A = this chain, B = another copy of it.
Amino acid sequence: MKARIYITLRAGVLDPQGKAVVASLKTLGFDEVQGARIGKFIELELDGASREAAIERIGKMCEKLLANTVIENYRIEVD
């Protein structure tokens, strides 16, 4: 089974990496860029038959290891 996890910074959390990307893009002439937020995109390959059970397990993986839930949100998609 394949799953995709999107980890993004919560609203209100400063994103210095995003600010640096915006500044660099403007320097390169991409003046239309107003903001950027950088997150993580994780593709997981896992055993198991049930989509629902996989989503629950991946939620636990995010809480325990993959995301810092104090400052990050996560979203899970399972095929």
A contact residues vs B (CB 8 Å cutoff): 6-8, 21, 24-25, 28, 30, 32-48, 54, 57, 60-61, 64-66
How many copies of this chain are found per oligomer? 2
- With beta carbons under 8 angstroms apart, the residue of B24, B39, B41, B47 that contacts A32 is B47
Q: Report 5 cross-chain contacts, Cβ distance below 8 Å, ordered by A residue.
A: A24-B65, A25-B65, A32-B47, A39-B40, A39-B42
A66 CB contacts on chain B under 8 angstroms: 21
Inter-chain contact A8/B47, CB cutoff 8 Å = no
Q: How far is the CA of A47 from the CA of B34 in the complex (A)?
A: 7
Given A21-B65, A65-B21, residue A30 in contact with residue B57 (CB < 8 A): yes
Inter-chain contact B47/A21, CB cutoff 8 Å = no
